[in-house]
Structure 1
């Protein structure tokens, strides 16, 4: 049946569709960036223009499905379905399946040069590890599945709200600010570059033994095997084998001392990781809270390479909305700027992530957030709340985006991933 709709001069039509076909339609329409009603309209038009019906579609378990179509299209469709002696439900299913066949899932976009994201801040406790893990998880999510993502306007709303010392309710996501989007489907390597092994432990992996091989050994020019053999998969169906981890070892506490005897030590991390790059779209490095030689090596690894576009690789700085983060930020950016000048390289800032934010902490939090927003370059690309789900995920040693995939923090991590893509 159909009833007139007042918007856009279209009419609402109601029929039935099996759940699996409805889900395929939702995902494919999102992958192509079009509205479901536009896909259905095109599918019906193409089906009506065929000389005969297509293959029968299994419509068992079909339930109610509604959409909006141009005036008259449904009546034309009904007549053609009658002429072909098939039900409206079968005709609609064939039309949608035809659209799916004509519009296959697009290929996942792969970068020409492996992107290198350096997550850093020499201040400890700001949540660099949580951001590293969450960003990597969001980038690795399935491209054929829809995931809730906070859209840009929600972040803008939150940042503006900080200027008026909004309470926490003002900063919570409005359902209208959430979109269900396909995952990026990237192949991601997380590198635990911190001797404290927080990233390794949080993801349920085991730190590398002191008497074995490690990233430190490879950077110091004393490898004991193939670095690829140390990599472990973050086994969760949400990531489909696309997310991997290079665990840390406590021997990284001695890295700066060992690097002091290495020639061209700024390039030590790049020399170690370069053989792995062909296997990954993105490599994300969780840096230690340090301004030593290891940070120089990390920043140099994130530099813009020849033929690489600005903003593809670089430093992602994690801060909190409090004064000590501002002091640490100044020290870090000074180090990076000095490295730029000394080595004549371009090191891009990918943005600032304000982590563990809670406006209920009052003026210090809201005014500090406004201070980060006012910087403009680098701009704030993420605002992640201080909520319980992240802490729970760490406690049970599970990825946040599989432990609490619909939580505000997970939704924010996906938004961050799209801001830096």
Structure 2
């Protein structure tokens, strides 16, 4: 059936398609930065012009799918379906399959040197772990080798992925940072073995002893250790990965100093290759927390004569139904200028469901709006 869609001279088309095909279409369109309606339109044109390229698709148990086609195209498409003959749903499924087969996942251009993405804000509960997790998955899904580090002793990211934070007596990142353990930090890595990113995504889990890290860094006699401890602990990992994503604690202590220093622009590195991704919500307390973080960044830049790039804001858990506070706050973030808003992630149930089930979001609900937003964030950082 069709309904007029005046703004772009298109008409709405509704059909029944299998879930797996709809998911693959949404994911591939997001990866290629193509509107779904344009992908379906291109697929129909290819299907109409090259009948021999069409292959049957299993459509049993299909559910509702809607998109918009240029006015008149659907009528022409239905005529071709009758002439072949194939059912409309089958013809549309074949068209989408044809587009997918001829528009493969783009090859991610790997960076010459590891890129360090530090996800932070002083305020807790804004969703730093969820964004760190989703960004790492999106990068790995696109073909990059990614290590995501749970640098928060609360261990939310580690638990989200179905693992347990390291015990206080076990070797850990904190112990490596303090020189309290021998061996290689690589031995702590856990592979995240799900199809979309198997073999490319690894977790460095949280450790309970990280609660003690600030106090121990504060009492060290070596002043430079306060800033360089994280970098020295993970430098061996940089040889193995394209991206290192760090989920920071809601803290302004020495632990955060080590993460800020790790995110600095290194000699010979492009200014926006590495840096900070600041997670906020559309409300006032996020802005207050950001002011505190900004002071810490500026103090480090002045004291150590380094440059720490803020790659941008992520406005997380956005819900316009919360009214004026949410909408006006979002506008303020978008008008901030530099850094800019990289992406707005909606507050939807899929992320919470994935956490409850201990599954990666992009594996559990690969075509949900939040998953697409994570891929949009990846694109914003890799373009």
Name the TM-score class by shorter chain.
0.7 to 0.9
Q: Which runs of 5+ in 2 are unaligned?
A: 1-23, 47-54, 58-101
In the TM superposition, residue 400 of structure 1 has moved relative to its aligned partner by 0.8
What is the aligned partner in structure 2 of residue 126 from structure 1?
Answer: 126
What is the aligned partner in structure 2 of residue 300 from structure 1?
Answer: 261
What is the aligned partner in structure 2 of residue 231 from structure 1?
Answer: 189
Of residues 361, 373, 381, the one that matches 2:342 is: 381
Residue 198 (structure 1) aligned with residue 156 (structure 2): yes
Larger radius of gyration between Structure 1 and Structure 2 = 1
Structure 2 CA distance, aligned partners of 1:28 and 1:354? Answer: 24
Residue 391 (structure 1) aligned with residue 352 (structure 2): yes
Query: Structure 1 pair 389/37, CA: closer, same or farther in 2 (3 Å)?
Result: closer
Residue 258 (structure 1) aligned with residue 219 (structure 2): no
What is the aligned partner in structure 1 of residue 115 from structure 2?
Answer: 115
Query: Structure 1 pair 384/28, CA: closer, same or farther in 2 (3 Å)?
Result: closer
Matches within 5 A, 1:251-400: 251-259=209-217, 260-265=220-225, 266-400=227-361
Structure 1 CA distance, aligned partners of 2:223 and 2:305? Answer: 18
Query: Structure 1 pair 214/361, CA: closer, same or farther in 2 (3 Å)?
Result: same
In the TM superposition, residue 240 of structure 1 has moved relative to its aligned partner by 2.2
In the TM superposition, residue 41 of structure 1 has moved relative to its aligned partner by 11
Of residues 183, 189, 211, the one that matches 2:169 is: 211
Check conservation: 2:252, 2:296, Cα contact below 8 A.
yes
Q: Kindly report the root-mean-square deviation, in angstroms, between the aligned alpha carbons of the 2 structures.
A: 4.5
Check conservation: 1:393, 1:403, Cα contact below 8 A.
yes
Query: Structure 1 pair 37/294, CA: closer, same or farther in 2 (3 Å)?
Result: same
What is the aligned partner in structure 1 of residue 84 from structure 2?
Answer: none
Query: Structure 1 pair 396/36, CA: closer, same or farther in 2 (3 Å)?
Result: closer
SS at match of 1:325: helix
Residue 402 (structure 1) aligned with residue 363 (structure 2): yes
Structure 1 CA distance, aligned partners of 2:373 and 2:176? Answer: 35
Check conservation: 2:146, 2:241, Cα contact below 8 A.
yes
Residue 138 (structure 1) aligned with residue 138 (structure 2): yes
In the TM superposition, residue 300 of structure 1 has moved relative to its aligned partner by 0.6
TM-score between the two structures when normalised by the length of structure 2: 0.74
SS at match of 2:202: strand
Aligned length: 347
Query: Structure 1 pair 319/30, CA: closer, same or farther in 2 (3 Å)?
Result: closer
In the TM superposition, residue 341 of structure 1 has moved relative to its aligned partner by 1.3
Structure 2 CA distance, aligned partners of 1:125 and 1:27? Answer: 28
Check conservation: 1:29, 1:39, Cα contact below 8 A.
no
In the TM superposition, residue 37 of structure 1 has moved relative to its aligned partner by 9.5
Structure 2 CA distance, aligned partners of 1:215 and 1:369? Answer: 36
Deviations 1:130-158 (A, max 9, x none): 00001111111x4xxxxxxxxxxxxxxxx
Of residues 173, 176, 187, the one that matches 2:145 is: 187
In the TM superposition, residue 201 of structure 1 has moved relative to its aligned partner by 0.6
What is the aligned partner in structure 1 of residue 68 from structure 2?
Answer: none
What is the aligned partner in structure 2 of residue 415 from structure 1?
Answer: 376
Deviations 1:69-126 (A, max 9, x none): xxxxxxxxxxxxxxxxxxxxxxxxxxxxxxxxx9998753110110000000111111
TM-score between the two structures when normalised by the length of structure 1: 0.68
Structure 2 CA distance, aligned partners of 1:384 and 1:327? Answer: 20
Check conservation: 2:160, 2:359, Cα contact below 8 A.
yes
Q: Which runs of 5+ in 1 are unaligned?
A: 1-23, 43-56, 60-101, 143-183
Query: Which aligned segments of 4 or more residues in structure 1 are displaced greater than 6 angstroms?
Result: 26-42, 102-106
In the TM superposition, residue 251 of structure 1 has moved relative to its aligned partner by 0.3
Query: Structure 1 pair 299/29, CA: closer, same or farther in 2 (3 Å)?
Result: closer
Check conservation: 2:176, 2:185, Cα contact below 8 A.
yes
Query: Structure 1 pair 379/29, CA: closer, same or farther in 2 (3 Å)?
Result: closer
Check conservation: 1:212, 1:224, Cα contact below 8 A.
no
